[in-house]
């Protein structure tokens, strides 16, 4: 098992080298290196004996169907897009581990069909909306997304066509048939498991997220001649608001709120900023608390804009409610951990995952692996061999239990 664990890490690092930027891991939705990742994973899937296709939303899907397969199909997977300057394991680990579980099912001669999905998009980096791949698989793709633009002005529809796919086929990406459930394996991306000395956890639920863009619109003007009291500086207004975002999150139990992107116009050192568009990513386990936090922050943005003589434009990108994982399906994972001789740690996820979209369509469960140093969305992100080994043991136990339950 140790060799297999090392091979999993090496495989994730190999895929990490397939990047838009030399020396950094950046792989946004359907950019050129995604072709490389698809070719690599397709090879691996075919060598296991899986049949492989790419659906209209760019998800790579491998189907393992043994001759003795019962009617039900297990879905597994995670995403292969990344944030800019990412680590090697967020998302990709869940695809590589799913293929290991298929190999285990093969060894066990389990009468279970398994479809492994390498979701094309989960991070929301390129088009500002996350879960493009899993929305299509869950049958929840909204056609209006096709008109969303990336920073170069390409629409989502353009991106799908440029990749060689047909957006008219997105509807056919929706899963059908008799499904046993969906399992996503993922790094924790936080410090809790390490702090508690645990290697694995089952996820109880995933917190809700709001994503939006607020644009403060003032007046660009000469930095040398415009008196301070006559300015309508959009960036100064945005800065004031960003501090309010941080203060509200610090003062509200369970709330996390982030402004991770600021786009300033005209973005020149000697021009008073005329526009500042800032992103807001805001998360809470309770949807009511999330909604009231968003409302408060919009009120404060309006007050700041009014006081400074600015206009404000709001663009909503995501209003994703919190999602519980399926209790029965999760109990198979919990029993599998217990049978491997480990304590069962249960925890919520503060990060978003494809499982939160899949859960609307099929019973879903997640297995977390400890994140050393609690670091993620950063090149230093890592995973321990022994935790992968543990997750391989859990895979064997889980597949035995699931097969017995659906036989």
Unique residue bearing structure tokens 């001669």: 109
Smallest gap, in angstroms, from Cβ of residue 185 to Mn ion?
11
363 is a site residue for ligand GLV (CB under 6 A):
no
With CB under 5 to 8 Å by kind, the binding choice for 77 among ligand GLV, Mn ion, none is none
205 is a site residue for ligand GLV (CB under 6 A):
no
- Residue among 100 and 123 whose Cβ is closer to ligand GLV: 123
With CB under 5 to 8 Å by kind, the binding choice for 381 among Mn ion, ligand GLV, none is none
Cα(first)–Cα(last) distance of the chain, in Å? 28
What is the DSSP secondary-structure string of 281-333? EEEESSHHHHHHHHHHHHHHHHHHHHHHT-EEEEEEEEEE--EEPPHHHHHHH
352 is a site residue for ligand GLV (CB under 6 A):
yes
Smallest gap, in angstroms, from Cβ of residue 366 to ligand GLV?
13
Q: Figure out which of the listed residues 55, 81, 115, 123 binds ligand GLV, where binding follows CB under 6 A.
A: 123
Crossing angle for the helix pair 385-406 and 92-108, nearest 10 degrees?
50
With CB under 5 to 8 Å by kind, the binding choice for 215 among Mn ion, ligand GLV, none is none
- Residues making up the chain, counted from first to last: 407
Helix, strand counts (H, E) of the chain: 11, 16
Q: Which of 336, 331, 335, 297 is nearest to 314 (CA)?
A: 297
Smallest gap, in angstroms, from Cβ of residue 340 to Mn ion?
24
Q: Helix, strand or coil for residue 348? A: strand
Beta bridge partners of 117: 61, 77
Beta bridge partners of 212: 280, 316
Smallest gap, in angstroms, from Cβ of residue 90 to ligand GLV?
6
- Residue among 11 and 122 whose Cβ is closer to ligand GLV: 122
d(CA 95, CA 184): 8
- Residue among 31 and 226 whose Cβ is closer to ligand GLV: 31
Smallest gap, in angstroms, from Cβ of residue 352 to ligand GLV?
4
- Residue among 52 and 262 whose Cβ is closer to ligand GLV: 262
Crossing angle for the helix pair 92-108 and 2-16, nearest 10 degrees?
140
Q: Which stretch binds Mn ion (CB under 5 A): 82-90, 145-153, 262-270, 295-303?
A: 82-90
Strands 73-79 and 113-119: parallel
Smallest gap, in angstroms, from Cβ of residue 123 to ligand GLV?
5
Residue 125 contacts residue 28 (beta carbons within 8 Å): yes
- Residue among 123 and 233 whose Cβ is closer to ligand GLV: 123
Binding residues for ligand GLV, rule CB under 6 A, total 3
Residue 334 contacts residue 368 (beta carbons within 8 Å): no
Smallest gap, in angstroms, from Cβ of residue 189 to ligand GLV?
7
With CB under 5 to 8 Å by kind, the binding choice for 322 among ligand GLV, Mn ion, none is none
Q: Figure out which of the listed residues 132, 234, 277, 351 binds ligand GLV, where binding follows CB under 6 A.
A: 351
Question: What φ, ψ does residue 240 adopt, rounded to 5°?
Answer: -60, -40
Strands 275-284 and 256-258: antiparallel
What is the DSSP secondary-structure string of 141-166? --GGGGG-B-TTS-BHHHHHHHTT--
Q: Which stretch binds Mn ion (CB under 5 A): 33-41, 68-76, 91-99, 319-327?
A: 91-99
Show Cβ contacts of residue 22 under 8 Å, excluding neighbours closer than 6 positions: none
- Residue among 45 and 257 whose Cβ is closer to ligand GLV: 257
Q: Figure out which of the listed residues 81, 90, 121, 389 binds Mn ion, where binding follows CB under 5 A.
A: 90
- Residue among 351 and 391 whose Cβ is closer to ligand GLV: 351
d(CA 146, CA 69): 37
With CB under 5 to 8 Å by kind, the binding choice for 352 among Mn ion, ligand GLV, none is ligand GLV
333 is a site residue for ligand GLV (CB under 6 A):
no
Question: What φ, ψ does residue 80 adopt, rounded to 5°?
Answer: -115, 5
Smallest gap, in angstroms, from Cβ of residue 351 to ligand GLV?
4
- Residue among 376 and 397 whose Cβ is closer to ligand GLV: 376
Query: Per-residue contact track with ligand GLV, 209 to 248, x per CB under 6 A?
Result: ----------------------------------------
For binding to Mn ion (CB under 5 A), which residues are involved?
A: 90-91
For binding to ligand GLV (CB under 6 A), which residues are involved?
A: 123, 351-352
């Amino acid at each position: 098992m140790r060799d297999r664990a090392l091979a999993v890490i090496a495989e994730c690092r190999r895929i990490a080298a397939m990047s838009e930027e030399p020396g950094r891991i950046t792989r946004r939705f359907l950019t050129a290196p995604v072709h490389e990742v698809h070719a690599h994973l397709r090879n691996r899937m075919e060598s296991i004996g899986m049949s492989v296709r790419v659906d209209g939303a760019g998800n790579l899907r491998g189907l393992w169907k043994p001759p003795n397969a019962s009617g039900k199909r297990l879905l597994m997977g995670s995403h292969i897009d990344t944030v800019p300057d990412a680590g090697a394991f967020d998302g990709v680990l869940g695809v590589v581990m799913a293929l290991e579980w298929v190999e285990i099912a093969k060894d066990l001669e389990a009468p279970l069909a398994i479809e492994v999905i390498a979701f094309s998009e989960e991070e929301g980096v390129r088009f500002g909306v996350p879960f493009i791949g899993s929305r299509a698989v869950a049958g929840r793709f909204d056609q209006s997304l096709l008109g969303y633009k990336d920073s170069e002005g390409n629409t989502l529809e353009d991106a799908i066509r440029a990749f060689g796919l047909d957006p008219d086929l997105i509807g056919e990406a929706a899963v059908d048939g008799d499904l046993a459930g969906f399992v996503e394996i993922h790094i924790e991306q936080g410090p809790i498991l390490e702090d508690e000395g645990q290697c694995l956890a089952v996820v109880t639920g995933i917190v809700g997220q709001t994503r939006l863009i607020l644009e403060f619109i003032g007046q660009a003007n000469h930095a040398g001649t415009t008196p301070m009291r006559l300015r309508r500086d959009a960036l100064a207004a945005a800065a004031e608001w960003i501090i309010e975002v941080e203060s509200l999150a610090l003062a509200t139990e369970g709330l996390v709120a982030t402004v991770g992107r600021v786009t300033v116009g005209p973005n020149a050192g000697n021009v008073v900023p005329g526009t500042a568009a800032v992103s807001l990513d805001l998360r809470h386990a309770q949807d009511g608390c999330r909604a009231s936090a968003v409302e408060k922050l919009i009120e404060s943005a309006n007050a700041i804009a009014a006081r400074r003589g600015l206009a404000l434009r709001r663009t909503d990108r995501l209003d994703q409610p919190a999602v519980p994982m399926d209790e029965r399906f999760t109990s198979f994972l919990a029993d599998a951990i217990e049978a491997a001789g480990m304590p069962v740690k249960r925890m919520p996820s503060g990060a978003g995952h494809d499982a939160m979209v899949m859960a609307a369509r099929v019973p879903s469960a997640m297995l977390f692996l400890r994140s050393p140093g609690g670091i993620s969305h950063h090149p230093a992100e890592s995973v321990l061999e022994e935790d992968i080994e543990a997750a391989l043991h859990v895979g064997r136990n889980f597949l035995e239990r699931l097969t017995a339950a659906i036989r």
